[in-house]
């Protein structure tokens, strides 16, 4: 349109055509400027988008590098931990109270006592009978029950301890001390009217007179907890149901040894703990003693626990079998059976002689490292 108007104006057709040409040119200029502005805006937005994309890619690469570095550091730390000995201060939490590993036995004993029954707990020395008894006392006292705990002593002294713990006056009206028979009657009368529990530790060491009196209390219906090591089959031990404490599991012995080593301030590898654990045999007292011996630098070749298999009956049975077959071969005139049984008997005698030369279980040879 601009070109046509200019041509017409040049030919001198009219002035209006010239004015129209100027107006068309002025109308074209803003559109041109708007197009240029829009193109510049698009270029700027594209540039910003490219910059954002490049920034995000850079951040992702940096995050990947940091994650790889963290993984490498973790692997190096694990390798260092595996190479170093076990530090018990970082793996074991110490507590003020001893941990109880016989919760099932504890619940059975408490339930039996609350049912007005008596129970006998047996086990080897150091198996945890006293710890279990203390847990029973704590459980009963927390429920506001009266508990009398006594240990082996003279007959009258044990009666005085029981009377003192169940709030019985040990003096008469005149202020004189009660005799043993008077104490027995006073305690029996008091236990008829009130509920109280009697716990006797190491009861197998108590006098026969005291155990006979406990038998009378059992007939009276007084709930009692007796703890003994290899109790004799007499008096009160015959009539009371018993629980025999089994050896503690391996994890419990390992925790006991770790805590003992932590108290001693020594670091032990897993191989050292496994070696010492074999000497404990599931006995917590032996586990603590093994750590003490390791702390003192003592080398002990044998253990004191009783978790051994006695092969004597099997050996005697095998020898008897050889002798029987030898006589059978002799009676049936079977030379092959006679010779084979004779050879077996000779081998058996030699093997048994070798076993007799081995060191005994109860010998402990301690050497200074």
What does DSSP assign to residue 81? H
Token representation of residue 290: 């093994």
Integer-rounded Cα Rg, in Å, for the chain is: 47
Q: Select the highest-mean-pLDDT range: 191-195, 314-318, 331-335, 361-365.
A: 191-195
Domain locations in the chain as residue ranges:
2-83, 103-244, 312-368
Q: What is the pLDDT of residues 16-66, one digit of tens each?
A: 444 444 444 454 444 444 444 444 444 444 444 444 444 554 555 555 555
Q: CA nearest 220: which of 182, 199, 192?
A: 192
Lowest-confidence pick of 127-131, 140-144, 276-280: 276-280
CA angle 220, 224, 227 (to 5 degrees): 140
- Classify residue 253 as exposed, middle or buried by CB count within 10 Å of its CB (0-12, 13-18, 19+): buried
CA atoms in the 13 A half-sphere facing the CB of 305: 22
Report which of 209, 207, 241 is spatially closest to residue 226, judged by C-alpha positions: 241
Token couple for 68: 């790889």
The pTM assigned to this predicted structure is 0.58
Check residue 175 and report its DSSP letter: S
Half-sphere exposure of 233 (CA within 13 A, CB side): 0
- Locate the DSSP E strands across 261-342: 298-300
- The domain defined by 103-244 folds into Rossmann fold (3.40.50)
Burial of 345: CB neighbours in 10 Å, binned 0-12, 13-18, 19+: middle
Using CA atoms, how far apart are residues 43 and 126, in angstroms rounded to an integer?
88
Rounded distance between C-alpha atoms, residue 286 and residue 276, angstroms = 10
């Amino acid at each position: 349109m601009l070109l046509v108007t200019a041509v017409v104006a040049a030919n001198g057709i009219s002035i209006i055509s010239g004015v129209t040409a100027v107006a068309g040119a002025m109308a074209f200029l803003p559109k041109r400027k708007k197009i240029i502005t829009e193109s510049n805006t698009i270029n700027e937005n594209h540039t910003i988008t490219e910059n954002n994309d490049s920034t995000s890619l850079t951040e992702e690469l940096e995050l990947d590098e940091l994650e790889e570095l963290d993984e490498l550091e973790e692997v190096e730390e694990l390798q260092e931990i595996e190479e170093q000995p076990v530090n018990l201060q970082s793996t074991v939490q110490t507590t003020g109270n001893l941990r109880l590993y016989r919760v099932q036995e504890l619940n059975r004993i408490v339930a039996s006592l609350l049912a007005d029954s008596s129970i006998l707990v047996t086990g080897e020395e150091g198996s945890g009978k006293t710890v279990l008894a203390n847990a029973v006392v704590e459980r009963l006292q927390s429920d506001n029950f009266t508990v009398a705990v006594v240990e082996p002593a003279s007959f009258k002294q044990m009666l005085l301890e029981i009377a003192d713990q169940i709030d019985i006056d040990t003096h008469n009206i005149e202020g004189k001390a009660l005799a043993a028979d008077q104490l027995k009657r006073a305690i029996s009368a008091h236990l008829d009217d009130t509920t109280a529990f009697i716990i006797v530790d190491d009861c197998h060491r108590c006098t026969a007179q005291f155990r006979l009196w406990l038998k009378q209390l059992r007939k009276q219906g007084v709930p009692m907890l007796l703890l003994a090591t290899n109790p004799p089959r007499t008096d009160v031990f015959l009539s009371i149901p018993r629980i025999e404490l089994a050896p503690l599991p391996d994890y419990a012995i390992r925790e006991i040894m770790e805590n003992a080593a932590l108290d001693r301030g020594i670091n032990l590898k897993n191989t050292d703990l496994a070696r010492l654990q074999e000497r404990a045999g599931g006995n917590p007292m032996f586990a603590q003693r093994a750590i003490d011996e390791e702390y003192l630098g003592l080398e002990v070749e044998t253990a004191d626990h009783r978790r051994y298999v006695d092969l004597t009956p099997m050996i005697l049975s095998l020898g008897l079998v050889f002798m029987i077959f030898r006589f059978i071969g002799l009676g049936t005139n079977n030379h092959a059976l006679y010779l084979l049984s004779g050879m077996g008997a000779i081998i058996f005698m030699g093997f048994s002689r070798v076993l007799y030369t081995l060191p005994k279980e109860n010998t402990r040879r301690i050497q200074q490292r």
